[in-house]
Amino acid sequence: MSDILWIRRDLRIHDNPALVAAVENGVTNAVFISTPQQWQQHDLAPIKADFIYRHLKQLELQLAEFGITLLHLKATDFDDQAAQLTRLYNELDAKCVYTNSEPEVDEQLRDKRLIASGIKLKMTDCDTILPLGSVLNKQGEMFKVFTPFKNAWLKEVQVKGIQCSPAPIIQAEPTQTERLNTQLSGDLTPHKLSDEYDFDFPRVDSDRWPLSQDVLNSVIPNFLANKVNDYGKFRDIPSIKGTSGLSPYLTIGAVSPRWLAIQLIQQQPDLLFDTQLPAFSWLNELIWRDFYKHLMFHHPRLVKGANFQQKYNGLDWYQDHPSFKAWCEGKTGYPLVDAAMRQLVETGWMHNRLRMVVASFLTKHLLIDWRWGERFFMSHLIDGDFSANNGGWQWASSTGCDAQPYFRIFNPITQSEKFDPKGIFIRKYIPELQKIPDKHVHFPHDYIKKNGINSEYWQPIVEHKEARLRALAFFK
């Protein structure tokens, strides 16, 4: 008999309650079950698939120190994933599967079917700082805008603190790989990640992002010691590295949000009581992450592409495929938008301020359905997180949780002048504009025409003032 640790979106040793329970109960077998068909349906980015794979190989070595062998099974989708787990459960005569919960609809249905079939799942939570469903208004309901949620979140932490799992105790026992493989029937063949067993899913090199162990040992301590107090000052400037760069690790569970919050609050405990302190700007981002995950927990219809603001269900979004293609390829004629889209396609990441700018442009300037942009982002982002991506797109399109009404429309030219005044970021991704003076680089068309410059930069696909008036009429 051998119980199982089921690895899902928790690719870490620290603050992993399922791992702690597994170690305490002598579990020696862990499994990760990839689902390439399901990943394709959920628009998993190839660079994120590679990032997951690299962290699984790291986790394989880490788990071995606890006497646990990490094996890989391949399924097509969640139904097949459940079937593969059931077969492994039966082959090993297991009595329990230890795992951390996944709150999305399809994942919840899969787990319920497993439980109904007789599989004992011992599930714990570790993907939010405060437990899902624990931050409510006086009516016992989820908040509909962020600021009151933030205030309630802070009060909850002031009173109860943040609960983080203890480190598991290393067992001095060898892994059981050979013994396990001889126990299994021939048609159930798990593989070790170290055998270079692939996902059967396209992967794009993610090596420019270090593994989480290096991030935990050096990047995070350096950020908290030297950069967090300047985060609010530099976070909106895309030409410098002013953000933490931790979102890819949070997305796959390689770094714990609870652990991060505890490190910050232990260093600056007054943050819970004084939101004007410089470092609160970064804590605020962690609270935003919690907000969107709590929102999805309370409103699972969001997973199915529903507008949070149902009054906008009747919006007749434009089915403008040529404009959408221009947006995807960074050929809108608005340099900041185009540079941001090129950054996304070339690197698998986009600066947070620019995500808001390009999302606003797609939904307000072009009046294209936010769901088109949501899917494009997920299919390219190394840090594609469903709840945050969905929340951000609905925020930008005014269909989601937002205290501001529909008439917030970002001007891509003034955004460029404010956050990339010298055009440093723009020129990095649009070499066609290298010789355009700083003053004109944010919208160079008149300068190019007036000076007879032979430029390969494309004309704007929409005029800002006209697009703004059209958007106001569209939403009103």
pLDDT tens profile 429-460: 999 999 999 999 999 999 999 998 888 899 99
Domain boundary among 64, 97, 126: 126
- Residue 245 annotated as binding? yes
Residue 189 falls within a domain, yes or no? no
pLDDT tens profile 22-57: 999 999 999 999 999 999 999 999 999 999 999 999
The C-alpha atoms of residue 134 and residue 139 are separated, in whole angstroms, by: 13
- Residue 305 annotated as binding? no
CATH number at residue 404: 1.10.579.10
Q: State how beta strands 69-74 and 121-124 pair.
A: unpaired
- Which listed residue (288, 411, 417, 432) is catalytic? 288
Residue 12 structure tokens: 């870490």
Domain count, the chain: 3
Predicted confidence band at 419 (pLDDT cuts at 50, 70, 90)? very high
- Which listed residue (104, 156, 284, 317) is catalytic? 317
The C-alpha atoms of residue 355 and residue 54 are separated, in whole angstroms, by: 26
My answer on whether 332 and 269 are in the same domain is no
**Residue 251, pLDDT above cutoff 90:** yes
Residue 320 falls within a domain, yes or no? yes
Domain span including residue 230: 128-164+212-298
pLDDT tens profile 146-156: 999 999 999 99
CATH number at residue 77: 3.40.50.620
My answer on whether 239 and 328 are in the same domain is no
My answer on whether 369 and 441 are in the same domain is yes
pLDDT tens profile 273-324: 999 999 999 999 999 999 999 999 999 999 999 999 999 999 999 999 999 9
**Residue 195, pLDDT above cutoff 70:** no
Phi, psi at residue 237, to the nearest 5°? -100, 105
pLDDT > 90: percent of the chain = 89
Domain boundary among 76, 104, 126: 126
Map tokens 């927990």 to a residue.
Answer: 297
pLDDT tens profile 223-244: 999 999 999 999 999 999 999 9
Residue 84's pLDDT is what?
Answer: 95
Residue 193 falls within a domain, yes or no? no
Could you tell me what percentage of the chain is helix, strand and coil, using 3-state DSSP and rounding each to the nearest 5?
55, 5, 40
pLDDT tens profile 331-387: 999 999 999 999 999 999 999 999 999 999 999 999 999 999 999 999 999 999 999
The residues pairing with 6 across neighbouring beta strands, listed in sequence order, are: 31, 99
Q: State how beta strands 191-192 and 121-124 pair.
A: unpaired
pLDDT tens profile 175-187: 444 445 435 554 5
Residue 72 falls within a domain, yes or no? yes
- Which listed residue (285, 411, 432, 458) is catalytic? 285
Residue 178's pLDDT is what?
Answer: 40
My answer on whether 122 and 133 are in the same domain is no
- Residue 140 annotated as binding? no
Predicted confidence band at 191 (pLDDT cuts at 50, 70, 90)? low
Element (H, E) at 231: helix 231-234
My answer on whether 29 and 119 are in the same domain is yes
- Which listed residue (151, 284, 352, 411) is catalytic? 352
Residue 177 falls within a domain, yes or no? no
Helix and strand tally (H, E) in the chain? Answer: 22, 6
My answer on whether 220 and 326 are in the same domain is no
420 against 408, higher pLDDT: 420
My answer on whether 152 and 249 are in the same domain is yes
Contact status, residue 387 vs residue 296, Cβ threshold 8 Å: yes
Residue 455's pLDDT is what?
Answer: 85
- Residue 382 annotated as binding? no
- Which listed residue (153, 209, 370, 372) is catalytic? 370
Residue 192's pLDDT is what?
Answer: 65
- Residue 285 annotated as binding? yes
Residue 178 falls within a domain, yes or no? no
What's the mean pLDDT when you consider all of the chain?
A: 93
- Residue 452 annotated as binding? no
My answer on whether 147 and 293 are in the same domain is yes
My answer on whether 332 and 270 are in the same domain is no
**Residue 260, pLDDT above cutoff 80:** yes
Predicted confidence band at 173 (pLDDT cuts at 50, 70, 90)? low
pTM higher than 0.85, yes or no? yes
458 counts as catalytic? no
Of 474, 470, 467, 471, the closest CA to residue 333 belongs to: 467
285 counts as catalytic? yes
My answer on whether 156 and 277 are in the same domain is yes
The C-alpha atoms of residue 32 and residue 74 are separated, in whole angstroms, by: 8
Residue 143 falls within a domain, yes or no? yes
Domain boundary among 80, 99, 126: 126
pLDDT tens profile 92-104: 999 999 999 999 9
My answer on whether 248 and 340 are in the same domain is no
My answer on whether 276 and 365 are in the same domain is no
